[in-house]
Structure 1
Amino acid sequence: MYEEKTYENIRDEILSKVTLTDTREGSFASDVVSPISYEMEKTYNQFDRMLGIMFLDTSAGTYIDDRGKEYGIIRKEGTYAKGEVTFTGEKDVEIPAGTLCATVGGLMFEVLQGGVIPEGGTITLPVEAQEPGDKYNVLAGSVRVLPTSIFGVTAVTNDAKMLGGSERETDAELVERILLKLQSPATSGNVYHYKLWAMNVEGVGNVKVFPLDNGPGTVTVMPITSSGRSPDEEIIQRVKEYIEEQRPIGATVTVMAPAEKMINVAASVEITTAVTAETVKEAYGKLLEEYIKSSVFKLSTVDYFKCLSMFYDIEGVVSVKTFTINGGTESISIGEKEIQVTGSIEIEGAVG
């Protein structure tokens, strides 16, 4: 808004109003006006920053937090993935609380409650990720490293997936929640009210609400995680408990996780010598993940031609020879109680 208020323009504007004395560079008038113009330029720059802070769409960081607090909306700090790991080793070896175990990639988990390996040679203990984030929701068998070895322990692994990790709410996500409260008529337990309540729960990234889903006086609430996945039972339970505290008397509420429809992609592409099939796969995976995640609860189909065309946004891809989604060449329909999730990506690349 104040882009034209530069030091030079301010100085020249002031000097243009001086008529009874010399105003050329180096004159007394010019020397007096110059430092004032410099300080005024800094002031106008601050005005620009202040205007940005005033509006949610252009604000950032703690300023958005402060706006949210005015409406009782607090930034979600993210949650820690939890699960269990099994230690294998000699009888009577102690596994103290605080013991660290990790994935090959270095994601660290801490033992919450220690124990002693019994006669059978194995003990299963609860663990929690060292940091919040959905990257800690690792698959079964991923945790198999002891950063600090324990004498008598021969192996460690997780027999089930780690669950419950979610990212800290971004500025854009927090703004979306604030605007939902301000722009949606959330009153008397209507659809917007249930969505707003569910969105306030840690780990929830978006929500779909089905009014009268099981008849009069019923509501079905379907949350997803911040990473666009179906939530685990812990998040479902938190949503149930929070809504139970807020909902009108008499409503029967069901909170359920959507079914995940995996989107599996296979392609054969012609590439240049500047890239490899692996680098193309990595780049395509990021584009597909972004498209899939942004379309959950918004689009009822995964568009075949959209997914195909993304290859041409990748440097080094000359042409796409074959391309299938879930083994076919048609768009994939998503049911009203399903969500699309990125599955396997198989890409063969040959230099043309």
Structure 2
Amino acid sequence: MNDHHADFARLVKEAGIPTTEAELKTVWENEVAAQGVAFSNNSEYSPWWRIVSALVTMPVLWLVDLLMTGVLPQMFVKTASGSALDLLAWGVAVERKQAAKARGRVQFTRGDLSGQLEIRAGTVIQSASINGRIYRLHTTQARRFSDGEATLLVDVEAVDTGSGYNLAAGYYAVLQTPIPGVTVTNLDNWLLHPGADRETDDALRLRVRNQFSAVNQWHTDAVYTAIIAGFDGVSVDNVFFEHEAPRGPGTANAFILFETGTPDAAFLARIQARISDEGNHGHGDDLQVFAMPETLHDVSADLWAVSHLDAAAREQLKQAVTQFIRAAFRENQDYQPTRTFPFSRFSFSRLAQELHTAFPALASIDFKTSDITSQMDIPRLKSLTVTLP
């Protein structure tokens, strides 16, 4: 967002309000003369006159500065923030989305299939360390393996709110307290409800802007975007439409790109129900909601580290680079590379530059994969191989 201080200063000037100390002193002196007040000690060298002028002009300068930097910016959607932006959003029937915990299912697997085995409520499953942070889930209810049963799906919830818990498949694979003979992992589409951070000012601002286009009586893209982006984990700029009548006249598709991971079909079904079953669609409209289609890619990279690193530091570098690359393919949010996106070209040379910036100990990196060009789809990793000779 651009700094609009100069614009607000111009508005104040155009309203005839002095904005500098010199202008205020001129106005003050003119007002004194207009009132016919005669001062004999009004020399600019007079301590009395200087203190009187300061007592008049300085508080006004403070108020004018408050007007330009604190009051006027909070009156416009583009520049408002915090509670002021909340009020502007309320005026168009939009409320800031609050933080939410990720909920989903993980799969427990056991080697010995004989007898029953209980997975207790509160069992903690965690990820490996990602950029110094470990994410944890806990089971929300007790479940039991039946005799002869090898796998068991158990409902889990993140221990805290935030979108960082929406990790891709395979990340949650560590039992905080080991259970002999039992392993755990999160499968594809494990999320029943994505975790979410409290909506930022920028994200809320986008939804407010979209709402101005959605107030008409026609079911346009903006109307459907407003409905879909009201769900946790969905932002306005991650909703894409296919208008080419995929199922005949009056039909369209909406594809949702999630920042990391892909929720279970049940979450998408709730969005679909909001549109189709609750009457939030136009007469004859057939809008179907889908997760963004994925393309899978094998990515490999050779690393070279600076010469003074010991074995432990080299392994840490390798793991950090691996997670950074995975973040670029939307598997975690703990690094901030340029991410894959629909209708774009994913550049491995740019990714290499970002890796060099993030990891000074990285001497060189050689990707074996060509740039990826996407359409109405999102590139994901099929496999990732990182070697450090």
Classify the TM-score, shorter chain: 0.7 to 0.9
Are positions 1:145 and 2:152 aligned together? no
Tell me the equivalent position of 1:201.
231
Number of the residue aligned with 1:127? 156
Equivalent of residue 172 in structure 1, options 196, 202, 205: 202
- Corresponding position of 1:82: 104
Counterpart residue number, 2:80: 59
Structure 1 residues 95, 263: closer, same or farther in 2, change over 3 A?
closer
1:92, 1:262 → 2: CA distance? 38
1:111 counterpart = 2:136: no
Give the equivalent residue in structure 1 for 2:275: 243
Q: Is the 8 A contact 1:86 1:159 kept in 2?
A: yes
Per-residue Cα deviation, 1:19-40 (whole angstroms, up to 9, x for no partner)? 7424556711222332343322
CA distance in 2, matches of 1:32, 1:130: 61
Shift of the alpha carbon at 1:71? 1.3
Instruction: Give the 3-state SS of the residue equivalent to 2:368 in structure 1.
Output: strand
Match of 1:261 among 285, 289, 295: 295
Q: Offset at 1:183?
A: 4.5
Q: Give identity over the alignment, percent.
A: 17
CA distance in 1, matches of 2:53, 2:256: 61
For 2:226, the aligned partner's letter is L
What are structure 2's unaligned runs of at least 5 residues?
Answer: 11-17, 33-38, 129-133, 330-335
CA RMSD of aligned residues (A): 4.2
Is 1:224 the counterpart of 2:257 in the alignment?
yes
1:334 corresponds to which residue?
374
Q: Tell me how many residue pairs correspond in the alignment.
A: 336
- Give the CA deviation at 1:346: 5.2
**Alpha-carbon distance in 2 for matches of 1:76, 1:172:** 12
Does the 8 A contact of 1:64 with 1:171 survive in 2?
yes
2:125 — aligned with what? 102
Give, in angstroms, the shift of residue 240 of structure 1: 0.3
Contact 1:311 1:320 in 2 (8 A): no
The DSSP-based 3-state class of the residue aligned with 2:81 is coil
Q: Provide the secondary structure at the position in 2 that maps to 1:38.
A: helix
What's the TM-score once normalised by structure 2's chain length? 0.68
Contact 1:270–1:320 (Cα < 8 Å) also in 2: yes
User: Normalising to structure 1: TM-score of the pair?
Assistant: 0.74
The one-letter code of the counterpart of 2:379 is Q
AA in 2 matched with 1:65:
D
| Deviation larger for 158-167 or 309-318 | 309-318
Question: In the TM superposition, what is the alpha-carbon distance from 1:349 to its structure 2 partner?
Answer: 6.6
Give SS of 1:130's match: strand
**Which deviates more, 129-138 or 60-69?**
129-138
Look up the match of 1:46.
66
The 3 A distance-change label for structure 1 pair 269 and 103 is: closer
Compute the displacement of 1:322 (Å): 3.7
Deviation at 1:270, TM superposition (A): 6.3
Alignment deviations for residues 145-174 of structure 1 (CA, whole Å, 9 cap, x no partner): 346x9xxx5466434334132322222111
Give, in angstroms, the shift of residue 86 of structure 1: 3.8
Point out the more displaced range, 178-187 or 282-291. Answer: 282-291
Partner of 1:300: 344
Distance in 1 (CA, whole Å) between partners of 2:225 and 2:290 is 13
Gaps of 5+ in 1: none
Secondary structure of 2:257's aligned partner: strand
Give the aligned residue type for 1:102.
I
Match of 2:15 in 1: none
